[in-house]
Amino acid sequence: MWREDLPALNSFGKVGSYLFLFLVLTTISATGTGADDQEEPEFPPAKTVVKRLQHGLIETMKVGPEIGYDGRFDRITPLVLQTHQLSAMAQLTVGRRTWMELSDADKKGFVRRFALIVVSSYASHFKKYGGEAFEWIREQERRPGQMAVFTEFQKANGEVIPFIYILSDSGGNWRIINITAKGISDLALKRAEYTSIIKRDGFPALLKKLDEKVTETREKHLTEQT
């Protein structure tokens, strides 16, 4: 019946209809319409991972003052775990040589503390909403398995801060491994700090300092809230 509605196609005959079908299928797969829109892929692309983090941060800011520091911390924790490659980030901050010398228990203890530092930093910075927004700019493959996602954070006062996210591909699963805010690399800063502390005072001192930092940040915010 549908063939009769398309006289031009009729003139192509059987070969024409196959060609038409092929073109339709190609178009659908190229534009990603249909089922792709309804089901989230198992491993979302790099851009989606960054958007998920940024959306979560803005939503947390909107309720930030009501839920307080602990509430923000609890909301942001799963978000960070889903979007960051924490063990890779942690190992890069201490350097390859130190990492290889650590016992499994020390590695796990460090990665866990590193995760808490990352979450507490987000909970401290993104504490209240005043009209801030993230804007996606572009993404660029740096090398196979590594993607840079360029975004901008628009502050309430109109100031714009460029945020660049570096993501790594781990079996099709894109995760953030570094964030550069206005040219300042989070990983580079942490690496300089941590290697300096290890060199001066040893690895146990770094673990102690990270514990103190998390506690101190929480207490500071709780004091401000009261």
Partner 1 sequence: MFRLLFRAVTWLLVLASLSAVTGCTTTGTSSASRDPLENLNRPINEINRGLDRIFLRPVAENYAKSIPKPMQSVITNFYRNLGEPKTILNQVLQGKFRIAFEDTVRFVVNTTIGLAGFLDVATPAGLVRHKEDLGQTLAIWGFAEGPYLVLPFLGPTTLRDLPSRFMGSVSGFGTFTNPLFFLDNNGIRYPLSALGMINARVRIIPTLRTVEIAATDRYIYVREAYREDRQFDIFDGNPPLDDLLEDEFMDEDLFLDDEGLFDDLE
Tokens of 2: 């549908």
Instruction: Give the integer Cα–Cα distance in Å for 80 and 121.
Output: 11
Residue 164 binds to partner 1 (criterion: CB under 8 A): yes
DSSP 226: -
Of these, 3, 55, 62, 108, which contacts partner 1 (CB under 8 A)?
Answer: 108
Instruction: Give the integer Cα–Cα distance in Å for 166 and 141.
Output: 10
Interface segment toward partner 1; rule CB under 8 A; list 9-17, 32-40, 93-101, 130-138: 93-101
Indicate the helix (H) or strand (E) that contains 174. Answer: strand 173-181
Residue 94 binds to partner 1 (criterion: CB under 8 A): no
Burial 153-191 (b: 16+ CB within 10 A, else e): beeeeeeeeebbbbbbbeeeebbbbbbbeeeeebbeebb
Residue 166 binds to partner 1 (criterion: CB under 8 A): yes
Cβ-based nearer residue to partner 1, 17 or 146: 146
- Count of residues that interact with partner 1, criterion CB under 8 A: 54
Residue 210 binds to partner 1 (criterion: CB under 8 A): yes
Residue 196 binds to partner 1 (criterion: CB under 8 A): yes
Cβ-based nearer residue to partner 1, 54 or 217: 217
Smallest distance, partner 1 to C-beta of residue 201, A:
10
Instruction: Give the integer Cα–Cα distance in Å for 124 and 176.
Output: 20
Cβ-based nearer residue to partner 1, 55 or 182: 182
